[in-house]
Amino acid sequence: MQRPLILASTSPYRRELLQRLRLPFDVVSPEVDETPLPGETPQSLAQRLALAKAHAVAARFPDAVVIGSDQVADLDGEPLGKPGDHARATTQLQRMRGRALIFQTAVAVVCGASGFSSHDIARVRVVFRPLSDEAIDAYLRAETPYDCAGSAKSEGLGIALLDAIDSDDPTALVGLPLIRTCRMLRAAGVTLL
């Protein structure tokens, strides 16, 4: 018998990605403080939060297989989170124009009852075009990506902001690296096909 599957995230983007696997799952808010620790690197932050989210929900549902994930935009070692509003999104995109950055997307799979715990991280290198202030403003008003790390949705109009995307897990940039997630779910005993 397959264990229940839970996505420890309220992100609609992660929910949509996980639905691609055609597995029944529930969504539970992990209620984890996402404040970076002093001196924490973007990679460490993403990994810590993915594990914390998975463990927080697994503690409440020990028989379930729980997926936690987090994404941090990494601009030369500085974590860029979700902007939250137009002004911060404008500042983020102005800083990123004409530059490459790394989106660190961590995923963790945990099951309290079986003791299973695994985590991994996908690094997606993204090169932004040299963007004018007018282009940035037009994009933000059209798509309002204020809940996205790095202020851009590559799965939507945000693709027009970019010169290149380099990744071995194409869904990682949207927020959940499904290739890695599938690998961990199989190891946790979840049947995918």
Residues serving a catalytic function are 70
CA distance 8 to 63: 14
Give backbone dihedrals phi and psi of 119, rounded to 5 degrees, phi first: -150, 160
Distance of CA 29 to the CA centre of its chain: 15
Residues 6+ apart with CB under 8 A from 93: 128, 131, 136, 139, 140, 151, 152, 161
Q: In whole angstroms, what is the distance from residue 118 CA to residue 113 CA?
A: 14
Question: Residue holding tokens 């989106």?
Answer: 103
User: What is the CB neighbour count within 10 angstroms for residue 129?
Assistant: 14
